Amino acid sequence: MKLKILAIHFMLIFLLSNCSFLGTAFEEKDSTIGMTAGQLYEEGRAFLYAQDFVNAIRVFEILEARYPFGKYSTQAMLDLAYAHYASNHKDECISEANRFIRLYPNHPEVSYAYYLKALANFDKDSNVLTRFFAHDPSRYDTTNLKNSFNDFTVVVNKFPDSKYAEDSLNRLRYIKNQIAKNELYIAKYYNKRSAHVASVNRVKYLLENYGGTPSTKHGLLLMVDSYNKMEMFDLAYDAARVLEKNYPDYKIVKNSNKSISILEPIKKNVQEENNKNENEESWWDFLNIFS
């Protein structure tokens, strides 16, 4: 009996000593224990500069957990958002940027939070579409592009003097064209299936929200066609007049059955049109450098 008690006693001592050893080993592995907020921030930045984003994320998260208030934790939130963006964690990047915007709406660097969030939404669309859909995002869901458009718009309108404004404006032009192409594609889809009211409404949405894009002209032509097919010739004529006013090379013809025809201009330079399309694709390729 005494031997059993003695054996149990030694076993407990052995287990406790091992637990103590493991705990010490764990503490030795966590090099951040005892570090100040400033030291943690500098270590996180060092990982960031070295493009070691996994460790940068780890250290910035530790900093926020241990020192949730103060200038270092505030700046770490932005750096954490960037580290997630660079790691292709787009949703996490957007979440961190949103948190920063919510907590610090008047911070001097809040424009960067909007810009980073817009980039993440843009890349969520462009990465997938570039890989699978031959550089043409016009036929697919544009929710992320619209979110990106909204945030780039905030950067341009609220922070016109920021260093992110020029790039945001360039991206806005591109995104606006792509969303307009998407709306036009859907309007064409409805038109082909004789859902002409839906087609007209889609074109109206395009004109109201994304006017001034190359799709505007094609949208007006489609609207004339849809009104003709519904035998709403007065409305077809109104749409044709808008087209003629904005694109004088297009001429209106009133047919004997009261329908409206549009005489399209003869392309004087086919190569010029081809070059335009190539330039659009080159712009898309340029944007993907940032993906």
Q: pLDDT tens, 122-132?
A: 988 765 444 44
For residue 41, count other CB atoms closer than 10 A to its CB: 22
| Tokens (6 digits) for 203 | 């074109």
> How many other C-beta atoms can be found within 10 angstroms of the C-beta atom of residue 212?
12
What is the pLDDT confidence band of residue 290, given thresholds at 50, 70 and 90?
very low
Q: How far is CA 196 from the centre of its chain?
A: 32
Q: Read off the pTM.
A: 0.72
User: Which pLDDT does position 101 carry in this prediction?
Assistant: 96
Let me know how many helices (H) and strands (E) the chain has, helices first: 12, 2
Residue 123, C-beta contacts closer than 8 angstroms, at least 6 positions apart = 90, 290, 291
**Per-residue DSSP letter, 262:** E
Q: Which whole number is the average pLDDT over 118-147?
A: 68
Enclosing H/E stretch for 252: strand 251-254
Query: Rounded CA gap, 227 and 201, in Å?
Result: 11
Model confidence over 233-250: pLDDT tens digits? 899 999 999 988 988 888
Which candidate, 18, 88, 27, 98, places its Cα nearest to that of 53?
88
Q: Are 171 and 287 in contact (CB under 8 A)?
A: yes
Cα(249)–Cα(262) distance, rounded to whole angstroms?
10
Query: For 144-203, what is each residue's pLDDT tens digit?
Result: 899 999 999 999 999 999 999 999 999 999 999 999 999 999 999 999 999 999 999 999
pLDDT band at 49 (very low <50, low <70, confident <90, very high): very high
Q: Is the pLDDT of residue 133 over 50?
A: no
Q: How far apart are CA 75 and CA 68, in angstroms?
A: 11
Tell me the mean pLDDT in the region 7-23.
Answer: 47
Task: Judge contact between 136 and 106, C-beta under 8 A.
Answer: no
C-alpha to C-alpha distances, 178 to 136, 143, 220, 282, 289, nearest whole angstrom: 8, 12, 17, 14, 18
Q: Which amino acid is at 41?
A: Y
Q: Does domain 32-107 have CATH number 3.30.565.10?
A: no
Q: Looking at residue 23, what is its pLDDT?
A: 45
Lowest mean pLDDT among 129-143, 146-160, 208-222: 129-143
Instruction: Identify the pLDDT of residue 275.
Output: 52
pLDDT digits (tens, 9 = 90+) for 36-47: 889 999 999 999
Q: Can you tell me the mean pLDDT for 123-142? A: 57
pLDDT at 87: 94
C-alpha 145/C-alpha 125 separation (Å) is 7
pLDDT category at 283 given cuts 50, 70, 90 is very low
To which residue do tokens 């005892």 refer?
A: 34
SS3 263: strand
- CA dist., res. 200 & res. 223, Å (int): 6
Q: Which of 65, 82, 75 is nearest to 41 (CA)?
A: 75
Give the whole-number percent of the chain exceeding pLDDT 70: 75
| pLDDT at residue 31, as a whole number | 76
pLDDT confidence of residue 100: 96
What number is the average pLDDT over the span 139-145? 78
Given a cut of 80, is residue 256 above it in pLDDT? no
